[in-house]
Structure 1
């Protein structure tokens, strides 16, 4: 069996979750990990079984023989870290939001294309079985034309000025961290909106909560509430002319989707429990693409990543929100 040499940049919470999945994927070889300090990299390598560790990202990019790099650093660092890896000829899977704005995203993707390397935003939602079943139902015409989408992502998180979520210099705020999921869902199903109506509760230069409505010439519209200040169920409904679909609580990683007819009668229920922790599906997608010689994923295409970033740019412009390092 051909194995792919994986590297990881960043050793925070999300990197730990991803490494758990990576460790159990048969086609993955845990090649190297990099952190800002050698001690953190060493500890991470020992915990998950990476062959080598590096005390700087530059050292990793220049000397690691990793073929594909998962970037799990804070959002404000994604652009520089991904660019470093691309320039060294490495394939990249970079956490969302990919960058701080659409201009940075377009620059990265253009560079990846010029260098001939694979690049994918780590939008794990799109790779998960329940999400893909939902799209299959819609493509089959089972709910007709989409008329309404309601999707929320709001968690109560205690304020901590040192947490990246609450630091504008780290790309903080709820839009890029949470709001990207409802907006990605909406864009994937309806495309670019014709109108964006949004508002946000701003604090220290970033959004603590926001409410976004997307409107389309077809008459369809999307409603999404996101934030760190209140706890919602974080489920989703996609309603059409013939029926509707619900995605269970934590819609972006739910293990259950239900299809209903227009009168609310259940037609089909799809349940799929994670084999590991849910991150294995994006790993599998990367492997599939590399085996096929693809430079971008058909599940998470570059054009989608760029357009969702453009939607978020427009929302931030309405709020007067600009990151200090843009």
Structure 2
């Protein structure tokens, strides 16, 4: 198990930076590392060479070496040059936030389409980091930052990488056309579609299972769902139904590469009749995380869709906090907010009623 040292970056909002650093720690553990230490650095101006100042780099090198770290994780997006310079200077592998998220996606992808989407994002990420025909990360052998989908080694020859990217894009375009035909068929059957969206680990899959009585089981881990899962949901009288789907969870600073690569999957949210935004109020910075989800929905073109907020895990917070958050999300979205517990079956019929009433 690799020993990771975390470097947080504060560019003016310390509380948000600390939340982000905490999340980086969760990402690191999810990727299979053990976290042995962390620091938060105040960065006013980004250095083209090291991202941080040379003085900070000198300080960090001493800390990293004294802690015996195998890998250093930066809570920022590093340029290929910054990543290479820091790795050479620290004499250990340095990865940025995007690469860690890509690494987790690589191990989570299960479907053929999901694996293609992850591989596309990974290849587009490593292409500018290749020197000649060798991956700059090859010196580290196996581990975080070297994995492709299903633990496979990624192609590292630049010419072959470019050809592979084109090949994958062609395959994903076919998948996109298939999805489009499926939506057309649902339209002919006059079936409304509802998409569950939300921050990673907010309980979307558990809610899908609870609403549809499917056999899908949610897992308490980051990015447990990468593909789109669809199930039929009936109203309480059983005479109406909609198709409800689960999607990949979002996260702060979700890499643009992933948004682009998962466009065909995320289109389910864009073309759905209704979005159900699942919020976990027990997470630190729940409101900020929910606002991040709304930003991403706007970015992919789903910002104008009808939306209901499902305030999940309501049984785990005090009533005062629940009331405050309900009012807060009503102000943010201008839509209906339903407090629920997917796990303990609280207010699920109320949520169903709200869904069918909104779709009238």
Calculate the TM-score normalised by the size of structure 1: 0.33
Larger RCO: 1 or 2 (CA < 8 Å, sep 6+): 1
Larger Rg: 2
Structure that is richer in helix per residue = 2
